[in-house]
A = this chain, B = another copy of it.
Amino acid sequence: MGKKRRQFGLRYGSEAIAASTELERFPNTGLFLEGRLRHDLSQEEKVELESLVSRVEILPDGHRLISRGDICDHSTMLIDGFMLRTLDSGDRRYGVSFHVPGDFVDLHCFALKRLDHNIECVGQAKVGLVPHERIAEVMKEKPHLARLFWFSTLLDAAMHREWIMKLEQLKVPQRIAHIFAEVWCRLDMVGLAFEDGFDTPLTQADLADMCGATPIHVNRAIGELRKSGIADFNRGEVRICNREKLESFADFEKDYLYGDGALSLRQDGL
């Protein structure tokens, strides 16, 4: 799952190092809220969090964690790998968002009970399972941790909103660029990006599902990115030629990720 080219850590260098020691101490949940509000977790809460994971599993490529309408009694922490949230309509699949390690991918199914969408692996994934009774305990007894859980699901909503805006604003080539920029940034936040891009099991067809285009047109768009020296894509190897160019082309402003941008809560905490 992603042979590393180089360690990135341009901007989040210190956190990347922090994250790696966190991962030793908390192998399953060490990346949760990393680059966001992890610093707002007390040592005690980190221990509590890690203890919530009752079982770790390896899931194969394409595995469906949850299908729309399923009732579930546990939630899932993504430890390693990539996942996609999808919706089916007509005979086609649409991607609504994706996940990187550290994401509590279906925490919301605790309060939603039945999910409105599917969650599936892209490539092999390692996950940690958290029984809902344990989350209910947290709700009762650890209001601060509960609030951070809430926060983490609201992060999804903020990312949804940004994507809605981008879908309304951008043509397909720029949408692709935006996806590249966001994945790169989010991987970077958890210390998994390379200096010149990232590796992903996503195919051009997946990208098409994610931005509501045809694979043919996605291919055109990628060709365009390549020709204009912005980024290259080849069998999951995404190489960013020029970060500024990419981000300005895609009109990517990372604030909405609640990392270190204008909306960050790093100073304040929750």
**Complex contacts, A147 vs chain B, CB 8 Å:** 111, 139
Total interface residues in chain A, CB < 8 Å:
51
Contact B157–A156 (Cβ < 8 Å) = yes
Contact A158–B94 (Cβ < 8 Å) = no
- A109: shortest Cβ distance to chain B, in Å? 9
Copies of this chain, count: 2
- A237: shortest Cβ distance to chain B, in Å? 25
Contact A113–B167 (Cβ < 8 Å) = no
**Complex contacts, A111 vs chain B, CB 8 Å:** 147, 150-151, 154, 270
**Complex contacts, A143 vs chain B, CB 8 Å:** 136, 139-140
Among A18-26, A189-197, A216-224, A255-263, which stretch is in contact with chain B?
A: A255-263
**Complex contacts, A117 vs chain B, CB 8 Å:** 158, 161
Binding site for B on A (CB under 8 A): 68-69, 85, 87, 89-90, 92, 94, 96-97, 108, 111-117, 136, 139-140, 143, 146-147, 150-151, 153-154, 156-158, 160-165, 167-169, 211-212, 251, 255-256, 258, 262-263, 265, 268, 270
